[in-house]
Amino acid sequence: MDQEAINALRQETVQPPKMILGGRAVSARSGKSIDVVSPIDGATIAQLPDANEEDVQEAVTGARNCFDAHTWSKQPPAARKKIMHKWADLIEANALELAVLGVRDNGTEISMAFKAEPLSAAGTIRYYAEALDKIYGEIAPTASDTLGLIHKEPVGVVGAIVPWNFPLMIAAWKIAPAIAMGNSVVIKPSETASLSLLKMVELAHEAGLPDGVLNVVTGSGAVAGKALAMSMDVDVLAFTGSGGVGRQLMQYSAQSNLKRVFLELGGKSPHIVFDDCDDLDAAAAAVVGGIFRNAGQVCVAGSRLLVQSSIHDDFVRKVAALADEMKVGDPLRLETQVGALNSEIHLQRILAALDKAPSVVTGGKQILSETGGYYVAPTIVADIAPDHELVRDEVFGPVLTVNKFDDEAEAVTLANDTELGLAAGVWTGSLGRAHRMVSAIRAGVVHVNTYGGADNTVPLGGFKQSGNGHDKSLHALDKFINKKTAWIKL
């Protein structure tokens, strides 16, 4: 990555975005569109097709017809694998272009987006390409006069709805395992982060993915997203986003065809530092990175710092010093560590949350408003009651709260005192304590002496109200498979 190449790409006029239905690039039937506003400077950079129910129905019908014609599911596994690898090759070859386009749309700093978006998506596509011919049916241990076979079949049409914080990475977590298992997909990205996904899906077709296997509808959640979730012809809905919308999706499923709904929702993850930690500098750096990268717009962000009382004051000072040094601003500068908030609405939501902070150690305000973009200084709030709403509710911004604890039992109590359970971090020099904490914390991923970075080999899923599904790993394939029994009298 070099700055000059990024500068050149950021000047390019964004090609008018089109939805992708049955391999064709189309506008919304109604002709309606949504302004794409760049969070970097508030400039309008494109007009996004605003799909209505009929557009979504067309996409779903196309996906169903493609599935029923077996144009993809019945291709030999080696052929499907080759196309998926070719797709990953094309994503890697166009990685900088995809990353810059995505940053112009969603505001993530490019140093993070380059790896976390196109390169991560390509890695996920390769992982599931390699998995697709290693999933077998089963033979049940029946009596000798009977044969019980368990076939693993694709479910049919998968609907996917994804958020704006990592549009390529999260889309790939849904699309790659779904198409690897032979399904057709209709995906709806966030209205504030669709551009790079549309480009990435174009590359899938260039790689040879048959028309109709992968379709993208763009537009609002309330209309296009709802239509997908209410469709009578979508078999499985895979969602990443907020808990509020997740709840609505389950209702839509109940009101329509009882499609299976897999939810990956928000978090309020504790980052716990014990006084027996061997490297408090490394812990402080991880705490800061774990909450402030991508301006805190990360589902597994470690937004609740819990520090043992004996080291609390020194450690908070260390963390605050590192936070103050972070470079906040233009996400298309390579040196930037904290980019923009995704939208004006989201900025206002975070400022309203900060208004309720009892006292701030550092940050706590909007900065760089002269750019026209949406930036908030890395913020640390200490001396706050554990039941304060800033400690309990997901802010999804660069806001870290700090509470102290005296011993391991209290650390566990505070860590688990939340309705959410997506991630956690523990810093300790004791192997025994590390294992005890991993088993005591109710969260889908517990990091020990590190934070973030878990790769495709392991699942990511929420406990409690953080969700009911898993992305990543071979376990994610189960969401997109029907198990069929053949019971045969011999």
Q: Which residues bind ligand NAD (CB under 6 A)?
A: 161-165, 170, 188-191, 221-222, 225-226, 229, 240-242, 245, 248, 264-267, 299, 394, 396, 422, 460, 462, 467
Smallest distance, ligand NAD to C-beta of residue 330, A: 22
Q: What H or E segment, with its residue span, contains residue 415?
A: helix 408-416
Smallest distance, ligand NAD to C-beta of residue 64, A: 20
CB within 8 A of 456, min separation 6: which ones?
A: 123, 124, 127, 472, 473
Measured from the CB atom, the residue of 164 and 315 that comes closer to ligand NAD is 164
**CA-closest candidate to residue 262, choices 160, 334, 186, 358:** 160
**Phi and psi (nearest 5°) for 258?**
60, 35
Smallest distance, ligand NAD to C-beta of residue 399, A: 13
- Catalytic residue from among 58, 117, 202, 264: 264
Measured from the CB atom, the residue of 259 and 318 that comes closer to ligand NAD is 259
482 near 465, Cβ under 8 Å?
no
422 near 467, Cβ under 8 Å?
yes
Measured from the CB atom, the residue of 267 and 373 that comes closer to ligand NAD is 267
Task: Determine the Cα–Cα distance for residues 260 and 14; give it in Å rounded to an integer.
Answer: 36
Smallest distance, ligand NAD to C-beta of residue 409, A: 28
CB within 8 A of 253, min separation 6: which ones?
A: 229, 237, 259, 260, 261
Per DSSP, the residues of 129-169 read HHHTTS---EE----TTEEEEEEEEE-SEEEEE--SSSHHH
Task: Determine the Cα–Cα distance for residues 86 and 81; give it in Å rounded to an integer.
Answer: 9
CB within 8 A of 235, min separation 6: which ones?
A: 155, 156, 157, 158, 259, 260
The angle at the Cα of 197, spanning 351 to 207, to the nearest 5 degrees, equals 165
- Return the structure tokens found at 297: 């717009």
Active site residue 92: no
33 near 3, Cβ under 8 Å?
no
Smallest distance, ligand NAD to C-beta of residue 72, A: 25
**CA-closest candidate to residue 275, choices 401, 406, 381:** 406
Smallest distance, ligand NAD to C-beta of residue 228, A: 7
- Return the structure tokens found at 109: 């700093």
Measured from the CB atom, the residue of 202 and 394 that comes closer to ligand NAD is 394
Measured from the CB atom, the residue of 96 and 474 that comes closer to ligand NAD is 474
Smallest distance, ligand NAD to C-beta of residue 217, A: 10
Active site residue 264: yes
Measured from the CB atom, the residue of 210 and 270 that comes closer to ligand NAD is 270
Measured from the CB atom, the residue of 167 and 210 that comes closer to ligand NAD is 167
Task: Determine the Cα–Cα distance for residues 50 and 41; give it in Å rounded to an integer.
Answer: 23
Smallest distance, ligand NAD to C-beta of residue 290, A: 14
| Beta-carbon-side half-sphere exposure of residue 489 (alpha carbons within 13 Å) | 0
Pinpoint the alpha helices (H) of 207-279: 226-230, 243-255
**CA-closest candidate to residue 371, choices 41, 113, 34:** 41
- Catalytic residue from among 299, 370, 389, 410: 299
361 near 382, Cβ under 8 Å?
yes
Measured from the CB atom, the residue of 330 and 394 that comes closer to ligand NAD is 394
- Which residues are the active-site residues? 264, 299
